[in-house]
Amino acid sequence: MENFIFQAPTKVYFGKNQIQHLPKILREHGRKVLLVYGGGSIKHNGIYETIQSLLADEFQIVELAGVEPNPRVDTVRRGVALCRQHGVEVILAVGGGSTIDCAKAVAGGAFYEGDPWDFTQDGSVIKRALPLVTILTLAATGSEMNWGGVLTNLETKEKLGFRNPLLIPQASILDPTYTFSVPAYQTSAGSADILSHLMEQYFDRTSGTQILDYMAEGLMRTVIENLPVALAEPTNYEARGNLMWASSWALNSLIRSGKAGVWSCHPMEHELSAYYDITHGVGLAIITPRWMKHVLNGETLPYFVRYGKNVWHLTGSDEEIAHHAIQKTYEFFLSLNIPMTLPEVGIGSEKLQEMAQQAVKHSEISTKAFVPLQANDVFAIFEASLEPMVF
């Protein structure tokens, strides 16, 4: 295990009707609130109305609406301008990871002289940030309990991460009932994102990390068991609750603290999203099993054997378990009725080479990944994603 510093200070209000605490939570930070949200689903499911009725008397609300599924730096700039114009004191993000990521960039941008896109190059330029409170409506990115985010720049075709400890939410309200209305497609994509976060951190060569590996395996099992229930019964509170809490723990730094490696599938998927604006979780579901197959070799075999045994309860020879584990991963995603090839999401072979180059350029995948991948490796994984997998 490597040395690390761990801190997850976000105060999480988990459960039914925890939104009742919202006025008390916001009051600690101020009365002028920037309300950040996405495409308006919170107006259909009643959350918007509840917020208005809870806050109307005491708070002054400015709105940044229409945050995109892959949030754009233009929207961040718009939010920063609103903060300055209205003297915003606290940001309330209501939505999934995209909305929260956007709100984080706005929180940092409010006190930053330059352009928020700079954060993707060096998050440490953020020296001060507005306090952020979130209400989560989609179990996926874990942004509700960590200090990172991802922004998209459509002009430069870039989708890049940013991070700074100042951006961690002060408080997050996690009410599983708010995810009852999430459609099957988004529920599946969100869970694929959670699983990918866990796998990115789990497949790592640092030794002596049993505690982290067992926790990651437990979180993977949680998703694998609860997702089919949530899809069959969208209002199953326990299934939605388990997925929601798993999203936070998959990426609040517990599972990676003590590990040394960098991620593989996210850097590849970010190119797909940047070029084609596809759903992040679906891109991850497509890439992950192909990546597994590409990196399975004599050296990585033990990691896949452990994964197969502890996550999928497989038995057999080591080689059988490893191959079977990859197949189970693929079949699990396939069972969700989400696209599992690139053509199904509108991606052909045209830009695969270019995107492969970019993935290597934008990340440390070629030097520090579980298995370092050069552009030709990434291209091979992209190419394998054009066709269904055969086992």
Q: Which residues bind a copy of itself (CB under 8 A)?
A: 1-18, 207-208, 210-211, 214-215, 217-219, 221-222, 225-226, 237-239, 241-242, 245-246, 249, 257-258
* Concatenated DSSP letters of 161-213: EEE-GGGS-SEEEE-GGGGTTS-HHHHHHHHHHHHHHHHHHHS---SS-HHHH
Nearest by Cα to 149 from 168, 125, 170: 168
Instruction: Name which of 25 and 296 has its Cβ closer to a copy of itself.
Output: 25
Q: For residue 361, what are the contacts with CB-CB under 8 A and spacing of at least 6?
A: none
Tell me whether residue 50 or residue 60 sits nearer to a copy of itself (CB atom).
50
Least separation in angstroms between CB 39 and a copy of itself: 29
Question: Which CB sits closer to a copy of itself, 65 or 215?
Answer: 215
**Structural contact between residues 192 and 284, judged by C-beta atoms closer than 8 angstroms:** yes
* 5 versus 390: smaller Cβ distance to a copy of itself: 5
* Choice between 102 and 239, CB closer to a copy of itself: 239
Cβ burial, residue 261 (10 Å; 0-12/13-18/19+): middle
Rounded least distance, CB 176 to a copy of itself, Å: 8
The least CB distance from residue 35 to a copy of itself, in Å, is: 23
| Smallest gap from residue 62 Cβ to a copy of itself (A) | 28
| Beta-carbon contacts of residue 339 (< 8 Å; ≥ 6 apart) | 282, 286, 345
Residue 12 C-beta: closest distance to a copy of itself, Å: 4
* Rounded alpha-carbon distances, angstroms, from residue 330 to 22, 187, 265, 325: 41, 17, 14, 9
| Residue with Cβ nearer a copy of itself (249 or 333) | 249
Least Å distance, CB 212 to a copy of itself, is 8
> Are residues 196 and 155 in contact, defined by beta-carbon separation less than 8 angstroms?
no
Shortest Å, Cβ 96 to a copy of itself: 19
Whole-angstrom distance, CA of residue 187 vs CA of residue 338: 10
- Judged by CB, which is closer to a copy of itself: 77, or 221? 221
Per-residue b/e over 339-371, b at no fewer than 16 CB within 10 Å?
Answer: bbebeebebeeebbeebbbbbbebbebbeebbb
Element holding 300 (H helix, E strand) = none
